[in-house]
Chains A and B, each alone.
Chain A
Amino acid sequence: MTPPAPGRSRRLSDRWLAVAFISPALLLLLAMSVFPLLWALYLSFTDYSATRGGPARSVGFGNYTAILTSAQVHQRALTTLVYVVGAVTLQTVLGFGIAYLISRRTHGRGVLTTLFLVPMMLSPVVVGLFWRFMLDAQFGVINSMLGSLGLGPVEWLTRQRTALISLIVVDTWQWTPFIMLIALAGLTAVPKYLYEAASIDRASEWFRFRTITLPLVWPLLLIAVLFRAIEAFRLFDLVYILTNGGPGVSTETLSFHVYKVAFLGFNTGTASAYGILMVLVVIVLTQLYLRYLNKLKEG
């Protein structure tokens, strides 16, 4: 923390230094993040269209009521919910499972961790493209492998139900390492003496897991889960590359729908209102995340 300031002049110069060091970064954020959002907020009350041009006319809360009552938006919200819950749940279970298995290894933990982390570092573009190739109904390697097991070809990306499942699977493939990494950090930080004490008491493995491992790792795991949930809610690029929202609208998430309204429909005013509503959801999730983070840091 700050040292006791010896004199008035020192404190004054410290204040100037703080302003000089912090304000450039804050100004950039104000210009590139806050100002655009305020502009979007203004546009959300108008019927402005980016292509039609002309002055923007106020429509009051018209855009908001239109979005909140639109059956289309409700459907996208449901798709997003299924996707976020499905992907994050799978990632958490798998990621924690892998981390637990790795933490019980005595040799080769480093190599294993490194190998498992590769998918996470790839760009969603590379991941999306590559899975699109592997899931191709005709020459995709996944169907080829299923074929050699005697299973018929599956139209992964061109059937309504399987497309959403494919999206969840690909996202899980990419982000399971994220949960694994953080769970592993939590697991290796569990003090060894707790396990030793438990084994002296002849506690069962399950008991040890439930009473020692899980409570100690849980706070950190929750941070990871919330982080992933926010990211999954924002996700756009993977959908864009892998399915382009199709077939039909079966994999259109809220972010993808905003894009369509804004850049294909050019209803900039409506898209802005839509975006502001999404930002509100993100702000709520972020607050939750930061609150847990704070708790973790203080605890």
Chain B
Amino acid sequence: MAVSVDEAVSTGPARDRTPPARRLGGRGRSALEVALLTVLAVVMLFPVLWMIETSIKENRDVYAVPAQFFGFTVTMDHFKDVFVGPDGGRSALSVAFLNSAVVAGVSTVLATVLGVPAAWAYSRLAVKARKDQLFFILSTRFMPPVVVVIPIFLMYRQVGLIDSKLGLILIYTAFNVPFTIWMMKGFVDEVPAEYEDAAMLDGYTRLQAFWRFTLPLLVPGIAATAVFALIFSWNEFVFAIFLTSSDSVRTAPPAIAGLIGGTTTDWGLVAAASVVFALPVLVFAYLVRKHLVAGVTLGAVRR
């Protein structure tokens, strides 16, 4: 684990040895740095741990004052409530999780199908004003969602896409395409163009060369890109809350946010739902840790 994440953040040789000058006076200072890092790590991780802890506490312990850090009774009731409704059937939350999976999955597939060929074309073929086009594509991703959602709302109302999964899928595809193109262009650039040239000398057409020689080499990159697109769609909230309303369509983020609507909030349930919601993201993010820098900058920064 340690080694692979190191690869994620360092391309140059790791500074594995402290320079001799520092080592002499550095013992105490080094200990101080370790202590500082530990404190910072605890601060950064505490909310996550607290969320996990709250999700397995009984309600009276959740609201205990002062807060109970240890020695509470462990219960899985909140997790049961996430999936099983009060009537014994499927809960609204579990439907929302399913909707999220469908919307995120389909929009990611669409964005990949649209984005990968475009990225290849931008990388390999002569395109007029390539740089301008690429910059335009990325800048669409930076539009404030609250602003875009106003005309999208009116547009969807005209064509009957309000409160439909298709509507969400379309808008998520549109915001994942710029990311996919930028991210994938980097991966295509890394595959030598000579492979295709050689294939074409052998009599393949350009399209065949792309399909049979370049595309197979791009598969790991496509997988990583798709995982990021999946995470973005899964986590998305603004479009989801304004464009959907019914339980059968709503995705998980607005459904979880809806848990705090009333006068009392079942924080144990909120915590359990959050854990269930966040877990896949963390697992997926761990899988693509090598590409995190490129992924979180929308493919703009590559190392």
Q: Is B235's CB under 8 angstroms from A2's CB?
A: no
- List, in ascending order, chain B residues with CB within 8 A of A101's CB: 33, 36-37, 40
B31 at the interface (CB under 8 A from A): no
Q: Report the interface size for chain A: residues with CB under 8 A from the other chain.
A: 123
Residue A105 interfacial (CB < 8 Å): yes
Interface residues of A in 20-45 (CB under 8 A from B): 20-22, 24-26, 28-29, 31-37, 39-40, 43
Given contacts A191-B12, A205-B22, contact A173 B256 (CB under 8 A): no
Query: Is A8 part of the binding interface, using a Cβ–Cβ cutoff of 8 Å?
Result: no
**Binary B-proximity of A108-152 (CB < 8 A = 1, otherwise 0):** 111111111111111111101111111000111100110110000
Contact with B along A197-211 (1 / 0, CB 8 A): 001001001000000
Cα-based distance from A259 to B147 in the complex (angstroms): 8
Q: Which of B15, B36, B67, B270 touches A139 (beta carbons < 8 Å)?
A: B67
| Bound complex: CA A10 to CA B6 (Å) | 44
Partner of A237, one of B65, B170, B237: B237
Interface-central residue, B127, B148, B151, by most chain A CB under 10 Å: B151
Interface pair B114/A124, CB less than 8 Å apart: no
Using C-beta atoms within 8 Å of the partner chain, give the interface range for chain B. 35 or more
The interface residues of chain A lying within 8 Å CB-to-CB of B152 are 32, 36
By the criterion CB–CB under 8 Å, are A114 and B289 in contact? yes
Q: Which chain B residues lie closer than 8 Å to A118 at the CB level? A: 44-45, 48, 282
A119 and B47 in contact, given A110-B2, A237-B237 (Cβ under 8 angstroms)? yes
The answer to whether B2 touches A39, judged by C-beta atoms less than 8 angstroms apart, is: no
The reply to whether B147 and A113 form a contact with Cβ atoms under 8 Å apart is no
User: Hey, which chain A residues are within 8 Å of B67, CB to CB?
Assistant: 139-141, 144-145
Chain A contact residues: over half helix, strand or loop, or mixed?
helix
- Interface 9-residue window, one of A57-65, A159-167, A177-185: A177-185
Which of B81-89, B172-180, B218-226 is found at the contact surface with chain A? B172-180
Inter-chain residue pair count (beta carbon < 8 A): 326
Given A36-B152, A282-B142, check contact A188 B45 (CB 8 Å).
no
Contact between chains at B66 and A144 (CB < 8 Å): yes
Question: Is B79 located at the chain interface by the 8 A CB criterion?
Answer: no
- On whether the beta carbons of B4 and A98 are closer than 8 Å, the reply is no
Q: Which of A31, A130, A220 contacts B301 (CB 8 A)?
A: A220
CA distance A233 to B230 in the complex (A): 24
A268 and B292 in contact, given A29-B178, A102-B37, A112-B41 (Cβ under 8 angstroms)? no
| In the complex with contacts A22-B121, A130-B47, A181-B9, A98-B63 CB distance below 8 A | no
Besides A22-B118, A114-B286, A139-B64, 9 new A-B residue pairs in contact (Cβ under 8 A), listed by A number: A103-B15, A110-B3, A122-B48, A130-B47, A133-B270, A189-B11, A234-B144, A255-B147, A262-B146
